[in-house]
Amino acid sequence: MAPTGLLVAGASFLWWNLCVSLAHSLLSGTGALLGLSLYPQMAADPIHGHPRWALVLVAVSVGYFLADGADLLWNQTLGKTWDLLCHHLVVVSCLSTAVLSGHYVGFSMVSLLLELNSACLHLRKLLLLSHQAPSLAFSVTSWASLATLALFRLVPLGWMSLWLFRQHHQVPLALVTLGGIGLVTVGIMSIILGIRILVNDVLQSRPHPPSPGREKTRGTRTRRDNGPVTRNSSTLSLKD
């Protein structure tokens, strides 16, 4: 247990921003799930029905995404983070509408369910940075990421899209446009993310049978001077 404990401590120290993101995802995602379970009127009336604390949770999420976006701009190159910045811009624009107007808080709470999937994604990233791929913990986290992506990301996105389409006559055109762009953007990014995880973590990690004629040379290859060169095939390279 000592190496594991040191690993966790090192990860918390070296990847502070990622740990903060994980904490926010757990807080907002769990809060949204509990809130919608205890106060189903937020889903029944996403415009007006909500308890006061729900607005506070949405406001906290706005602050987090603003801080994380500023951190990305300060410490990362635009070419590597443009997709996350676009995501944060869309999310902040939509959630800020609820904070400033006091309406659509229930709609925003449904959108925070996506953070339950983000928590698994942050944990997966921590395991990658800790060189824990492949491992049982990484495999479980990968499958949990795919499962929560379908349940807590694609399903809420579909529900919000359907609600916005049916209730477009009650919502100002500017908000319908903003919400539609946000849902399409996050939906496309979610599908691409799911495909990447499926390919990198599941399909590429499966052992492949040796090709005919190459069975004798698996694990070694012969140099021109007939000296064997060993190959290390135990490391799985995952790009994320």
What would the pLDDT profile of 110-120 be if each residue is shown by its tens digit? 999 999 999 99
Whole-number Å distance between alpha carbons of 18 and 192:
21
pLDDT above 60 (res 168) = yes
Which pLDDT value is given to residue 231? 35
Could you give the CA distance from residue 128 to residue 134 in angstroms, rounded to a whole number?
9
The secondary element (H helix, E strand) that includes residue 221 is strand 220-222
Residues 6+ apart with CB under 8 A from 48: 103, 106
Instruction: Yes or no: say if 65 and 14 are a contact pair by the CB < 8 Å rule.
Output: no
> What are the tens digits of pLDDT across the range 61-114?
999 999 888 888 888 777 777 888 888 888 898 899 999 989 999 999 999 999
Domain ranges within the chain, ordered by starting residue: 15-204
Q: What is the pLDDT of residue 207?
A: 57
77 or 43, which is more confident? 43
Confirm whether pTM is higher than 0.85. Answer: no
